[in-house]
Amino acid sequence: MVKVAVLGAAGGIGQPLSLLLKLNQNIETLHLYDIVNVPGVAADLSHINTNSTVRSFLGQQNLRTALDGIDIVIIPAGVPRKPGMTRDDLFKINAGIVRDLAAGIADACPRAFVLVISNPVNSTVPIVCEVLKQKGVFDPRRVFGVTTLDVVRASRFLRDADPSISAAEISVPVVGGHSGNTIVPLLSQTTPPLPASLLESRLSEITHRIQFGGDEVVQAKDGAGSATLSMAYAASRFATSLIDAIKGGPSTIEPTFIHLDADPQNAQSIRALGAGDLAYFAVPVQLGPNGVESIVPISTVSEAEAEALVVASEALAKNIEAGIKFVHIS
Ligand code: NAI
């Protein structure tokens, strides 16, 4: 049985995510932490008749107890986008929030698996890793940027483009990062392969929709935030796969933005694709009892995908650098 903490549990993602986690029979304890409103969220969820215990922790003075003995920490704390904003615009506020939560994790549960949802993921994951490094407790196999929503969107958008495709069954590798043109869907590498006619006629349109799908939600919510329900689903899917893997159950392949030292050998194929000397990249990984068991190598990409990877890597290098610098100068 697994103990999970959600940091930012009273928010738009935190609430539905905590609901989905409450339904997971492998979770015995669910700690909900936030700086506002969390006692009500926890009281509400605690009436659901699954066996897990839900406890609330309000305010920074309770962060340490919220994290004591925790196996998996999920972080959706921070501000979301409003129309016209990019994920990088969130850096100023979210970088400090994530840095402080990472310090709390290093002190209270240094062996925990850390799932980072707060944007910009391309920078917040390096922030978490740098803090854990400073505290001497960094294990690259245990820190994950949650990019599951990109593959969830990719499979759904492919179904929109061609109703003969099953959204639940098609698997689309999405690599690079988690914002705009750093998101690189490898539509030439789907399982099963896409119909050639679709690849020929609508490739760039579908690629663009996957890269900027988050904007559709931000615009439709018109100032009330970004994706929360689909994001909660995606994070719950990743957490469920990780819990199954650490319990020694069936090991699933999930995409995630990680430090490539998690599997230096297989990282070579990703570096050859376009990651070059970048330390972080979103890749499909095989999960296991220690987190990242291995990076799933990718051998071929199309010419257009290779070009997209060059663009993605240039932008990613800046995002990663911003995260690392932030920890060292703040
Ligand atoms: P929200 O504003 O509805 O909720 C954020 C919650 O974090 C609030 O309850 C707030 O009180 C809490 N919070 C703020 N500072 C905190 C701190 N220091 N400690 C603990 N909790 C704190 O925002 P929403 O919609 O839930 O989004 C959260 C984050 O997730 C945003 O950064 C957003 O950009 C990101 N996101 C990531 C996605 C991904 O695919 N990785 C997709 C969608 C959103």
270 CA → ligand 1 middle, Å: 30
- Whole-angstrom distance between the N-terminal and C-terminal Cα of the chain? 37
2-145 and 148-329 share one CATH topology? no
CA dist 141 to 81, 132, 239, 291, Å?
A: 29, 13, 15, 5
Q: How far apart are CA 23 and CA 142, in angstroms?
A: 24
The whole-number pLDDT of residue 186 equals 96
Catalytic residue among 31, 47, 178, 259: 178
Hey, is 171 helix, strand or coil?
strand
pLDDT at 81 over 90: no
> H or E element: which one contains 105?
helix 91-108
In angstroms, what is the span from residue 298 Cα to ligand 1's centroid?
Answer: 32
Please tell me the distance from the alpha carbon of residue 327 to that of residue 229, in angstroms, as a whole number. 31
Q: For 236-283, how does the pLDDT look when each residue is reduced to its tens digit (9 = 90+)? A: 999 999 999 999 887 789 999 999 999 999 999 999 988 889 999 999
- The predicted model scores a pTM of 0.97
Query: How many whole angstroms separate alpha carbon 54 and alpha carbon 48?
Result: 10
pLDDT at 200: 84
pLDDT (0 to 100) of residue 251: 74
Q: What is the DSSP letter of 252?
A: P
Q: Is 263 exposed, middle or buried (0-12, 13-18, 19+ CB in 10 A)?
A: buried
Q: Is 328 a catalytic residue?
A: no
As beta bridge partners, residue 295 has 285
Element (H, E) at 3: strand 2-7
Residues 6+ apart with CB under 8 A from 23: 48, 50
| Ligand 1 atom 35, closest CA | 118
The domain limits of the chain are 2-145, 148-329
Q: Whose CA is nearest to atom 5 of ligand 1?
A: 11
Residues with CB under 6 A from ligand 1: 7-8, 10-14, 34-36, 76-81, 90, 94, 97, 117-119, 121, 146, 149, 178, 225-228, 231
The fourth-level CATH superfamily of domain 2-145 is: NAD(P)-binding Rossmann-like Domain (3.40.50.720)
Report residue 116 as tokens: 């980072």
> What separation in Å is there between the alpha carbon of 203 and the centre of ligand 1?
32
**148-329: CATH, from 3.40.50.1260, 3.90.950.20, 3.30.565.10, 3.90.110.10:** 3.90.110.10
> What is the distance in A from the centroid of ligand 1 to the CA of 78?
4
Q: How many CB atoms lie within 10 A of CB 205?
A: 10
ipTM for the complex shown: 0.99
The span from the CA of 294 to the CA of 273, in Å, is 17
